[in-house]
Structure 1
């Protein structure tokens, strides 16, 4: 069966809805991460008979496409500490691969209550601390930077491969809270590292054949368009705008994990 025939077998209204959901997800993800919180549930609602690994793989293809474009946009405006970026990215790559390998062997629900309460604490702290992420706040030694980068890589790399939704937001939070970055700078680092973790996890899903190519193409194109718009708005409007979107995404994550913990 060739590619056009693959598209024809799907209802056009479903393809349009998933395209718009992916565009909005790309927009949010480019600003502060968390696009998977919109894109993944939309996919599962529209394609309910799809296995979870296939849903992960299809969404990762789209997410990587948009995240790569956002990373390029940020790289034009933000000066990176390339050693810090490399240390965090390599650690993230390794632990994302480990997380993706374990996703079919361990019950992911055991982590959800812990994540739920952590997110509530993050939302309260960010809301009350108005200057959180507004300016670079810490001057720390290079050794501490690299240590924190490794810690972020281990924790969030594993989370991305194992669960995934909101990885970009957790990366942004980590760079702001641990390394004292402002939101715009943290978003730039998060995009590059998120690309690396997506590649690592996606390798596992593709090698297992867990993806739907025609849906992935539609979602990827839409995600890229949303990513271009979102990254340009973030760069134009700055830290205050990113902070508001960050709070919005964290609240969505609280609702999502709250539902999983108490009702699912």
Structure 2
């Protein structure tokens, strides 16, 4: 009994911090939350399903704060793409057996995330303004990227949120804070809900830990979104870049250790 209380207390604190930073940077909760579930004794598949259920409340926490932010506006084209192409890709990524070994995929993904973090850190104009007139070429490239991110979201435990934010800001041209809010709503909430249902049908979920993780994820995301709305875009970009670089290092390390 005492051991279980200690585990849940640790999990609550880790989940809160992970979702706090994820809601400010546009992703990265899975890099901390998912490995912690494994360290606390859950098998890989059970940890993945449990993580996906809990992280839905990262998005719900952000959405609940969004209602009090009248400045946020949906990009209708981006929203439709993330709903139609994204959700389909999430299901496909969850059920299709990927031929590339997961450790190799994680290592490659890690280097891409690090490069993306360095790029956004050095490119001063990244995510500072909204692109008003988006070309059809950008829309096509962005849609392809969203499909790939959806596949990652369904098949890997981490990285989808950061890549989605990078795609929305770098290709679709959304201002960074606006891109992060789209990520919180569509990736964290809707995609993960779809992924949780799919994975839950294929594997076991450790429901005993879900209540503590839900409360921690919701409160962390709510507080993080409050910080996001008040922080200057330059500071948000710096946090996004640092979280991306650190997340890439963790991905590479996990890939080598498998």
**TM-score between both structures, scaled by the size of structure 2:** 0.89
Residue 171 of structure 2: SS of its match in structure 1? Answer: helix
1:130 equivalent in structure 2: 124
CA offset digits 1:184-236 (Å, max 9, x no partner): 11101111221221122111122234211110111111110100000010011
TM-aligned CA deviation for residue 126 of structure 1: 1.7
2:227 equivalent in structure 1: 233
Q: Does 1:71 align with 2:57?
A: no
Aligned pairs for 1:1-264 (under 5 A) are 8=1, 11-31=4-24, 32-47=26-41, 50-74=42-66, 76=69, 77-102=71-96, 107-137=101-131, 139-141=133-135, 143-144=136-137, 146-194=139-187, 195-264=189-258
TM-aligned CA deviation for residue 146 of structure 1: 4.4
Mapped partners of 1:10, 1:207: distance in 2 = 29
Mapped partners of 1:209, 1:261: distance in 2 = 22
CA offset digits 1:10-54 (Å, max 9, x no partner): 52111100000010111112122111111111111122xx22111
Mapped partners of 1:251, 1:121: distance in 2 = 8
TM-aligned CA deviation for residue 137 of structure 1: 4.6
TM-aligned CA deviation for residue 135 of structure 1: 2.0
- Residues 259 and 138 of structure 1, relative CA distance in 2, 3 Å threshold: farther
Mapped partners of 2:152, 2:144: distance in 1 = 12
- Residues 96 and 27 of structure 1, relative CA distance in 2, 3 Å threshold: same
TM-aligned CA deviation for residue 87 of structure 1: 2.1
TM-aligned CA deviation for residue 260 of structure 1: 2.9
Does the 8 Å CA contact 2:64/2:222 hold for their aligned counterparts? no
Larger displacement relative to structure 2 (186-195 or 146-155): 146-155
Does the 8 Å CA contact 2:114/2:246 hold for their aligned counterparts? no
Unaligned segments of structure 1, at least 5 residues: 1-7
Residue 127 of structure 2: SS of its match in structure 1? Answer: coil
TM-aligned CA deviation for residue 149 of structure 1: 4.5
Residue 60 of structure 2: SS of its match in structure 1? Answer: helix
TM-aligned CA deviation for residue 97 of structure 1: 0.7
Larger displacement relative to structure 2 (60-69 or 16-25): 60-69
Task: Please provide the CA RMSD for this pair.
Answer: 2.2
